[in-house]
Structure 1
Amino acid sequence: MATTSFRALTLLSLLAARRDWACAELAARLGVSTRTVRRDINTLRELGYPVEVAKGPDGGYRLGAGSTLPPLLFDDDQAVAVALALQTTPLTVFGLREASARALDTLRQVMPARLRAEIDSMQLTSLPNYWEFTAPPIGPATLKAVGDAVRRRHLLRFDHLRADGTRPDPRDADFAPPRTVEPHHLVVWAGRWYLVARDPLDDSWPIFRIDRIHPHTPTGVPFNPRTLPNRSVAEYVVTSYDRSDTPAEWPCLGSAVLHHPAALVARWAPGGSVVEPITPTTTRLTLGAWSWAGIAGILATFDTELTDIQPADLHTACTTLALRYQRATQPEIDD
């Protein structure tokens, strides 16, 4: 059986992870009796954690809100998860590198030696550009503005930025008036942050890249949440071909028409590629790589017919690979 201190730490972690817990549930998760759970609850209260009794037929407990909580406690897995999160967040959110480094250093100082060694063994290093995320990091102010609108269920008004991050001038041909949408979900996928929203003008559900959003002053106008056209927001984002994406910057950029529906291609296309539906069963995929052969190899993974291959360099690379594979599969002839 776990020691009292470790069990109390695990109990605190469970209470923080969910609003209400039945006493029997906690006992089952901890592998102890309900009497032991009640004793551990009293231990947490003596330490200053406001554990409240939850009302209901089964009774139970919840961790109450308070501004004078003792310092946070983490179990081993939580500490490792937080340390890794602090190292990866600055890659997608601009301006947090120094703050994240200071927070990680603070966390290391209060860790036992064995955990510090584990964290140090997982120090992340910035890789060359070809492995970095295919979207520019976003500003904390933008992320906060969009996140607050999602959390408060307030209409979000914003300008849609160009691919280079600039705001179109009203005199430009590509100028569009500000958008006003109902923000529903924030999603991180393939190194990019996306907003899933509902456009009340036409009842559509567009997806916007957060790094392409320039929020206006908060509207403060509430809206009633609607139901997504897909039960899973993750699946909706992954299978949507229109995610406001633009091709990532690569030395080689090419495209081809695949004989697959857009939703299927979008699900497996690399980050930074563009998926365009041609017909219900055909899709144009535009993507980049370090070489034309690299693009040809990615296209081959979709295991379907390819047509309208552009540009000519990519067409040549496909022919070269086909001949190379043909030679590789021919039986060797003994002299």
Structure 2
Amino acid sequence: MTTTSRLLTLLSLLQARRDWPGAVLAARLEVSDRTVRRDIERLREMGYRIHASLGPDGGYRLDAGSELPPLLFDEDQTVAVALALRSAPAVGAGIGDAAIRALATIRQVMPSRLRHRLDALDITTVGRPGDAAPPDVPLEVLVALADTIRDRQTLRFDYVRPTDDDHAAPDVGPAMPPRRAEPHHLVAAGGRWYLVAWDLDRGDWRLYRADRVRPRIPHGPRFDRRAVPGGDVDAFVSARFRGSDVDAWPCRGAVVLHLPARRVRPFAGDGTVTAIDDDTCRLESGSWSWAALAASFGRFDAPMEVVGPPELADAFAALADRYARAGSARGGRQAPASQSR
């Protein structure tokens, strides 16, 4: 082993665990204790802060320094770092440009096999900066999905059923029959990883949670890429989250709220607030159902009048009846059987 190769190997060992006895390092590198000491001094000259302890149980420990020296990553670590950098726009905090430069630096020195894996990680981020980070998904699953997208190979997979505990390990639930889909896009949205794919058995586009996907080997035949409805992945995923096929709420309506516009705007979300006078305003908003839209207006806890459409007024009437029946059962008394349906 050349001196350079030995130094890189030594640095990799020091990064792998906290403490290394000198004799163990010498045995791993197949050199003398004296050579280990020399190599440690060389690493210190490069900026690595390495603490040495004396005695029979003495050894070496890589400590934090005042500057960031060059780092070594194994293949999985390299892909994981690149994956995090690709997802940086969803994190916000003004790190987008720095993430792009860091990703370019890493890619430049990657071996070709890792560069191919990185290039396959084509990720779309949907949502606002500051959304929760996606949950743990095995790196091999994300890489497998990215590979099938890049190679345009049909994905054969099991899709784990959701459990009552949404934070439980996905393996807890029973598995559905194997599925077949043409994978097109990997998306980070709303604190989760999703796969946008054309489901071959259902003949339609589907949005699969990546933490519930279990790829099967071998993959299926190659396919010709399709365009997602509307041609925009971000808009398509946002529309599916809204329960629609277009990037708009399927149910939209308006009310007049007896509140000043300044008190409504901070809580209007993507709704539109128009001041009528100092004490009233018009709020137009949308939701995935009329009942949900009516309930969202009700959160302002103020008198209001429905502007339209009629479906919104009907939803208010249905909610009023439902709430009245719920209130009649207060104090632990059950509603009459005729009212419990």
TM-score class normalised by the smaller sequence: 0.3 to 0.5
TM-score (ref. length: structure 2): 0.36
TM-score (ref. length: structure 1): 0.37
- Which has the larger Rg? 2
